[in-house]
Structure 1
Amino acid sequence: MDKELHIEDIRTDYRLAALSEDQIDKDPIRQFEQWFEQALHSKVIEVNAMTLATVDADGSPSARIVLLKDIENDAFVFYTNYNSQKAKEIAANPKVSLVFFWPDLQRQVRIKGTIEKVASTNSETYFHSRPAGSQLGAWASPQSDVIPNRDFLEQNLKEVSEKYKDQIVPKPPHWGGYKVIPFTMEFWQGRTNRLHDRILYSKDVISGNWITSRLAP
């Protein structure tokens, strides 16, 4: 009989790769793009999934998974409902964090930055590139609000589907994009014995240049 597995017994020894100062790009955005391409070619599931952490007006943090949709002018772009919980927290505090975790490559990227809305034209263009069902869903769901049941959503979807039948679905005024402009980016490569490689890029507020340093694991 197999020994019962306990949570504290779950562990992985990371041995796939290393990360050194002479390997990295001087620009963290270019370094991220290199890692992203490698994750993409490695067929990492949901390679563009990232944890977005926000803080509300009372200082309470919250986090959820969103999807990276673009890197625009060195900023990380995603789209959402501007009436959602995350949007309200962003309005209260425009400093956020992002985390990418690609376990197949034993890598993690942590980003801290400020956040702002993308241009409305960008939101319009991206909205109309989405599948029709996703466009209708943006109208049907009052994101983060308490709703009575699943039927409420299904009924909303039915109504908007009828309303915009055989028409171009307009972008809801409460839906659009945000971009996260980083001021720190940390690249983490798992190593054996938990002696991981951590390279931190910090943006100098005066010169605008990126400064790199190594962090203890």
Structure 2
Amino acid sequence: MEYSKKIKELKVLQGDKLKLDWENVGNNPSKLFYKWLDIAINYEVIEPQAMVLATADTKGFITSRVLLVRHVDEESNFYFSTSKANPAGEQLSENPNASLNFYWKELSQQIIVSGRVEKCHQTDSIDDFKKRSIGSKSICLVQKQSQLLENIQTMHLAVEETQKELKSNPDLINPNWSLFKVIPDKIEFFQGRKTRMHERLVFTRNSNNEWGRNFIWA
């Protein structure tokens, strides 16, 4: 009960500091995303490119983890990369739908994206892998993500071996590495308010690939 009380007493929505001009947001959610991202960067939000990726298998079992968005194009498609052999990749092969959530607590903002997912061309996936840091490539080349691990030292030794391999062959590629594209049917921009009268704007894409927007209740 002591911790329950502590949790309830914690302050919330401490980032409620922006007055937003909702009348001039336009009809392109990608432009609004980059506008919010620029503001987040200016306010020194920690890792504003980080997002929660949620996927589900055909039985409805959901997994989520934090990844980094790689790109958002002019058509408001969101790109991320991961191994098609890990739990998220396996779920996407069964059920190619996902939700993304950017949460910037420093500004009490969220951007929530939902839609179907497509795997990008293999050359794009290879290019994405090559641009990653040596540390990221090394752990990816071990290809054991989410498998049982006997101890932490075992992981360190395996990564040291792949780093040696990368130094002798910098063009090594994880064959399971994939760049994915989320094609949203809905994107919500959420501004939290201490009054709980949260400001929420939702873009929805119709069958003609055109965006409409509406406010929704807090």
TM-score, structure 2 normalization: 0.89
**Residue pairs, 1:115-154, within 5 angstroms:** 115-154=117-156
Match in the other structure for 2:116:
114
Contact map agreement 1:190 1:197 (CA 8 A) in 2: yes
Q: What is the CA-CA distance between 1:21 and the residue it aligns to?
A: 4.0
Q: How does 1:172-211 map to 2 (within 5 A)?
A: 172-205=174-207, 207-211=208-212
* Map of 2:70 onto structure 1: 69
Answer whether contact 1:71 1:77 (CA < 8 A) is retained.
yes
Over the aligned positions, Cα root-mean-square deviation in angstroms equals: 1.9
Q: Secondary structure at the match of 1:202?
A: strand
The aligned counterpart of 2:105 is: 103
Write the letter of the residue equivalent to 1:57. T
Bigger drift between 117-126 and 26-35 goes to 117-126
Residue in structure 1 matched with residue 6 of structure 2 by the alignment: 6
Distance 1:133 1:21, change over 3 A: closer
CA-CA distance at 1:79 after TM superposition: 1.3
Identity rate of aligned residues, in percent?
27
SS of the residue corresponding to residue 175 of structure 2 reads coil
Amino acid at match of 1:10: L
Render the CA deviation track for 1:124-161: whole Å, top value 9, x for unaligned: 22222222222222112411222322233223223323
Indicate how the Cα distance of structure 1 residues 13 and 95 shifts in structure 2: closer, same or farther if over 3 A, else same.
Answer: closer
> How far apart are 1:5 and its partner, in Å?
6.4
Structure 2 runs not aligned, ≥5 long: none
- Equivalences, count: 213
Shift of 1:169: 3.6
Query: TM-score of the superposition, structure 1-length normalised?
Result: 0.90
Residues 19 and 197 of structure 1 are in contact (CA less than 8 Å); yes or no, is this contact kept in structure 2? no
Whichever residue aligns with residue 27 of structure 1, its letter is: N
The runs of 5 or more residues in structure 1 that have no matched partner are none
Q: Distance in 2 between matches of 1:199 and 1:167?
A: 49
CA distance in 2, matches of 1:195, 1:126: 41
Which has the higher mean CA deviation after the structures are superposed, 137-146 or 101-110? 137-146
* Matches of 1:135 and 1:31, distance apart in 2: 32
Per-residue deviation, 1:175: 1.1
Structure-2 separation of matches of 1:141 and 1:183: 32
CA distance in 1, matches of 2:113, 2:166: 39
Name the aligned partner's letter for residue 54 of structure 2.
A
